[in-house]
C-alpha cells in the first residue's frame, strides 16, 4: 500500500482516538489542558527546528508583519477549536464533537463560496442544503443550536480558510501558531500554580507524562497528515477525513455510553446522507474528467 495512505490513516485514526487521551486527563481543567498542549507542542517543534538547523530559515520566513498577522488569526482560531474540543470531550459531548467534524467539510465548501467567491456545481448545493436541514432539525428538536458542533466546525473551517492563504508550510506554520500562543499559555499555567490550582507535578507521574505528551500527540498526526497530503490525491484524503469523526462517534456511543436518541439518529442521518451525496458527486465528476481525454483520443 502507498506509504502516503498509511500516513493519512495514521493521522485520522490518531485524531479519531484523541478523546481517549483527553479522558485520561479529565481531572485537569480544560484551559490548563490546552495550555499544556500549546506549551509542549511549541517546545517540541522549537527543539526540532533548532536541532535540524532550520532556525535561521524559519526566523527569516516567519518574522514578517504580514506573516505574523495571518498566523495570529490562525492561532486564535485553533486555540478556540482545541479548547472547545477538550472541554466537550471531558464534559461528555463526544457525539456532538463528531457531528462538528462531519459537517466541517461541507461548511468549508460554503465558506469558500461566500468568502472566496468559489463556484459550486448545481448538484453540490443539494448536500449543503441537506446538512443545513440536519442542523436545523437538531436545533428544533433540542430547542437550541448544537453549539459545540457548530463552534468546532466554524473554527476549524475558518482555520483552514486562513491556512489556505498562509505562506508557511505545516511545520513552520504550527511552530509559529503555538509560539504565538506560548506566552499566554505559560502565564496561565504560572497563575494556576501560584493559586494552588495547577495540576502539573501535583497529580502523579502518569498525569505529568500525559500532559507533556500532549505536544507529541498534537504534532505527530499533523506531520503525518502533511506527508500524506503530498503523496496521495486530494480525493482520497477527502474520504479518509471521515475516519476521525466516525471513530469519535463510536467511542462516544459504544465506549463512553453517551446517549444517542432517535432524534439524534434522524439529525445525524440527514448529515450522513448529505456527505454521501457530496462524496459521490465529486467522485463521478472526477471520473468523468479523467475519462474525457481518453474519449477524445478514441474519437
pLDDT digits (tens, 9 = 90+) for 69-84: 999 999 999 999 999 9
Question: Which grid cell sits at 268?
Answer: 445525524
CA atoms within 13 A on the CB side of 76: 7
Task: Give me the half-sphere count of Cα atoms (radius 13 Å) on the Cβ side of residue 253.
Answer: 14
d(CA 103, CA 245) in angstroms, rounded, equals 10
Q: Cα separation of 187 and 275, whole Å? A: 42
Cα 263 from Cα 131, distance rounded (Å): 15
Provide the residue range defining the domain that includes 147. Answer: 3-298
The 10s digit of each residue's pLDDT in 94-137 is: 999 999 988 888 887 788 777 777 777 877 788 888 888 888 88
Average pLDDT, integer, range 164-172: 85
Q: Which of 71, 124, 53, 47 is nearest to 279 (CA)?
A: 124
Average pLDDT, integer, range 227-249: 79
Q: Tell me the C-alpha distance between 161 and 150, whole Å.
A: 16
Residue whose C-alpha cell is 517546545? 43
Q: Using CA atoms, how far apart are residues 298 and 139, in angstroms rounded to an integer?
A: 53
Q: How many domains does the chain have?
A: 1
pTM, two decimal places? 0.86
Rounded CA separation 142/136 (Å): 10
Of 178, 188, 18, 263, the residue nearest 170 (C-alpha): 178
Burial class (CB in 10 A: 0-12, 13-18, 19+), 82: buried
Amino acid at each position: 500500500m502507498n506509504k502516503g495512505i498509511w500516513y493519512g490513516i495514521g493521522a485520522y485514526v490518531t485524531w479519531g482516538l484523541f478523546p481517549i487521551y483527553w479522558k485520561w486527563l479529565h481531572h485537569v481543567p480544560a484551559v490548563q489542558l490546552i495550555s499544556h498542549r500549546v506549551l509542549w507542542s511549541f517546545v517540541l517543534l522549537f527543539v526540532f527546528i533548532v536541532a535540524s538547523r532550520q532556525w535561521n530559515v524559519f526566523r527569516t520566513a516567519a518574522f514578517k508583519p504580514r506573516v505574523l498577522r495571518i498566523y495570529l488569526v490562525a492561532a486564535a482560531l485553533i486555540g478556540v477549536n482545541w479548547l472547545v474540543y477538550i472541554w466537550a470531550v471531558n464534559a461528555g459531548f463526544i457525539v456532538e464533537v463528531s457531528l462538528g467534524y462531519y459537517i466541517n467539510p461541507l461548511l468549508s465548501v460554503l465558506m469558500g463560496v461566500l468568502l472566496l467567491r468559489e463556484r459550486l456545481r448545481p448538484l453540490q448545493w443539494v448536500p449543503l442544503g441537506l446538512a443545513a436541514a440536519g442542523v436545523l432539525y437538531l436545533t428544533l428538536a433540542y430547542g437550541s443550536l448544537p453549539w459545540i458542533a457548530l463552534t468546532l466546525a466554524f473554527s476549524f473551517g475558518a482555520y483552514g480558510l486562513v491556512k489556505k492563504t498562509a505562506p508557511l508550510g505545516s511545520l513552520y506554520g504550527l511552530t509559529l501558531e503555538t509560539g504565538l500562543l506560548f506566552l499566554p499559555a505559560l502565564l496561565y499555567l504560572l497563575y494556576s500554580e501560584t493559586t494552588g490550582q495547577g495540576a502539573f507535578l501535583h497529580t502523579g507521574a502518569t498525569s505529568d507524562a500525559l500532559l507533556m505528551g500532549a505536544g507529541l500527540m498534537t504534532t505527530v498526526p499533523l506531520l503525518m497528515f502533511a506527508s500524506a497530503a503530498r503523496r496521495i490525491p486530494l480525493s482520497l484524503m477527502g474520504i479518509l477525513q471521515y475516519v476521525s469523526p466516525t471513530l469519535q462517534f463510536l467511542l462516544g456511543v459504544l465506549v463512553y455510553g453517551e446517549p444517542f436518541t432517535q432524534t439524534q439518529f434522524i439529525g445525524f442521518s440527514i448529515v450522513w446522507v448529505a456527505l454521501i451525496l457530496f462524496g459521490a458527486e465529486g467522485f463521478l465528476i472526477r471520473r468523468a474528467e479523467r475519462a474525457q481525454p481518453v474519449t477524445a483520443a478514441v474519437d
